[in-house]
Structure 1
Amino acid sequence: MIINEQKQGDIDIVALSGRFVMVEASEVRERLKTLIDEGQGLLVIDMEQVTFIDSSACAVLISAFKAMQIKSGRLILVTSPMVQSLIELTRLHTVFEILPTQVAALSALLGD
């Protein structure tokens, strides 16, 4: 898995690519936790290039969501079709704010 981090103003962006599975879960969890703790409460997790996720990856996303709720922040997911299918299968689409592209996610965060 490749993890890229960047900022656009007050928005933290984490772009993931490859397989998001148990082996990478702890590293991604720690990096997201650091960004949430140190950030301004605006986070985009871009998984448009993720080819597979497992239940440990879902747990990492839920953990990030809960941390953002505590911070009164906002988290937006960008998903690939495969990731979107799993999120819908697990009904997590009712929890997460999901947008189709990173551009749409940034626009939503900047527009509010």
Structure 2
Amino acid sequence: MNMAVKVIEPHGIFDGIRGNQLRREVSEILDSGTEILLIDMKEVKFIDSSGLGALVSAMQMTRTANAKLFICSISDQVKMLFELTKIDRIFQTFVDQDDFNRQIMTTK
């Protein structure tokens, strides 16, 4: 079975403005029939509460669409924030895109 996968690569400071952009992009991607969405955070240097809210919103949108959302390449700062806010419990994260491909795409 060949799953449709789309990768989003936000960058810089992930705040309310970038969070709104992410929500719009996720909505468009899900409307196109994508089944698996990977957010690659390698270029995100900082994330604030609005950015975290956008990620949670993206997860809810993805679940509603019966799709799956994964995150990869989070920095140590973002990882610490995920752990402090316990968001790491709702997102499956991967070291990078290669790790995602090895663990998820080879099992599909």
- Could you list the runs of 4 or more consecutive aligned residues of structure 1 that deviate by over 4 angstroms after TM superposition? none
What letter is aligned with 1:57? G
SS in 1 for 2:44: strand
Query: Match for 1:68: what amino acid?
Result: T
* Number of aligned residue pairs: 104
TM-score (norm 1): 0.84
Q: Return the structure number with greater relative CO, CA threshold 8 A, min gap 6.
A: 2
Structure 1 position 97 matched with structure 2 position 96? no
Partners of 1:23 and 1:69 in 2: CA distance? 23
Identity of aligned residues (%): 26
| Runs of 5+ unmatched residues, structure 1 | 1-8
**Any unmatched runs of 5+ in structure 2?**
none
Shift of 1:24: 2.0
Cross-structure match for 1:3 = none
Q: CA deviation at 1:110?
A: 1.3
- Counterparts of 2:15 and 2:88 in 1: how far apart (Å)? 19
The answer to whether 1:88 aligns with 2:83 is: yes
Secondary structure of the equivalent of 2:34? coil
* Mapping 1:43-58, distance limit 5 Å: 43-58=37-52
Partner of 2:11: 17
| Larger strand fraction of residues | 1
Aligned equivalents of 1:20 and 1:98: distance in 2?
A: 17
Partner of 2:59: 65
TM-score normalized with structure 2 length: 0.87
1:18-45 deviations in whole A, cap 9, x for unaligned? 1111232211211121112213210100
Question: Do 1:45 and 1:76's aligned partners in 2 also have CA atoms closer than 8 Å?
Answer: yes
For the aligned residues, what is the CA RMSD?
1.5
